Amino acid sequence: PLFAPVWVSRTVGTPLGTGPWKFVDFKRGVEARFEANTAYWDPKRIPEFAELRVVPRPDPTTRLSMVRTGEADMAVIDASQIGEVKKAGLRLQSIKATTILMIVFLGCWQKEMWCHQTPFRKAMVLAVDMEGVVKRLFPEGAGNRYANAQFTERALGFDPSLKPYPYDAAEAQKILKEIGYDGKPVKIWSAPLPTSPETPEIMELVQGYLNAAGFKTELTPIEYGAFRPRIVKSPQTFETTYAAHLHIDVGFTRPMMMQNFAVSWLSHEAGGLIQSYWNLPKAEQISRRLKQITDLKVLDEEFRKVNRETYPEYAFFPIMARNTLFAGGPRVGDWSPGDNGLAWHLETVKKARQ
């Protein structure tokens, strides 16, 4: 089959491997070609297609058009194309919860900022109808809401008793009055990533909800390449002249959770990257405790404790766990893409039975 993804991984020289596909050729920016390994040790995973061509096509409209015209058998699509895929009678398939969209509060480890206070973060979260935002921008099948940080169903520490935060604008207004909010603006950074092209629309809606609840805001569109140095620079320079800095982070679903915890929660000094948790010393203490655990069941329970403890802190504002979506043409009968992030098992693509 011909598969049109967003990208093709780099290949240097002649790769070695024992997988169900055998490498044939690679032309940078053009295609990678493979042929079925009919001697593969597991007969159930010997490809039904004799050849696989993987071509990079960064534009989602182009990828879908290739499937519709028969130029490609399968392609990655955007959530906005779900309706078009169904209308065209193409097969829609997905890998659930591969990426995690959430609003992070940057710089809030600084005590001078309003967002260092849990009631202020709670007010921001309650002020936004995130369920309404998701329903407005994402078609059915694009993903699902989740409750806290990166704790999805596929990760250690998941707690089904925790639900996504509710929308309660009146309570948000009440909190702002009780804590004496002085009108210092909330800085909203609109820095879209390829895995979150909807960022500008999300942030515009968030700004509207915050303004309606009584927050002062400042929306700043910016390319992610220009914004990222603010995150990785040490020390970070998120100005305390703002009440909070909001940014949409897109992480990957990592079942072990340890890497996500390090990236999002820990300080630079402790090996973190974003350091978006409001209490960095506490995060480092938790990390030291988790690193001592070698039993997976015990680690799962300890992460669940972290999940439950930080949920009422409103430390992060989850948007949705997003699915990776694919369109399949008439030659594709079925596919078992796997349940491990973006590790697509293309050898499980089955031919349509005529």
**pLDDT tens digits for 130-145?**
999 999 999 999 999 9
Cα distances (angstroms) measured from residue 202 to each of 54, 81, 97, 233: 32, 18, 19, 26
pLDDT band for position 276 (cuts 50, 70, 90): very high
According to the model, what pLDDT value does residue 29 have? 85
pLDDT per residue as tens digits for the range 33-70: 999 999 999 998 999 999 999 999 989 999 999 999 99
Task: Scan for tokens 């994402």, then name that residue.
Answer: 138
Residue 18: the pLDDT is 79
Is pLDDT above 50 for 3? yes
CB 137 within 8 A of CB 198: yes
pLDDT of residue 341: 63
Write down the pLDDT at residue 8: 44
The first and second tokens of residue 150, run together, are 């990166």
Q: What is the pLDDT of residues 224-262, one digit of tens each?
A: 999 999 999 999 999 999 999 999 999 988 889 999 999
Q: Which pLDDT does position 2 carry in this prediction?
A: 62
Contact residues for 66 (Cβ-Cβ < 8 A; gap 6+): 2, 4, 57, 72, 75
Q: Which of 215, 157, 205, 214 is nearest to 185 (CA)?
A: 215
Element (H, E) at 187: strand 186-190
Identify the pLDDT of residue 229: 94
The dihedrals phi and psi of 113, each to the nearest 5 degrees, come to -90, 145
The pTM of this model reads: 0.86
CA-based torsion, 198, 96, 132, 63: positive or negative: positive
Average pLDDT over residues 270-294: 96
pLDDT surpassing 80 at residue 17: no
Residue linked to tokens 């780099």: 10
Instruction: Collect contacts of 228-237 with beta carbons under 8 A, ≥24 apart.
Output: 228/191, 230/106, 231/106, 231/273, 231/274, 232/273, 234/268, 234/269, 235/268, 236/106, 236/107, 236/268, 236/275
pLDDT at residue 7 greater than cutoff 50: no
Residue spans of alpha helices (H) in the chain: 60-69, 82-87, 118-127, 130-137, 169-179, 199-213, 224-232, 258-265, 280-291, 296-310
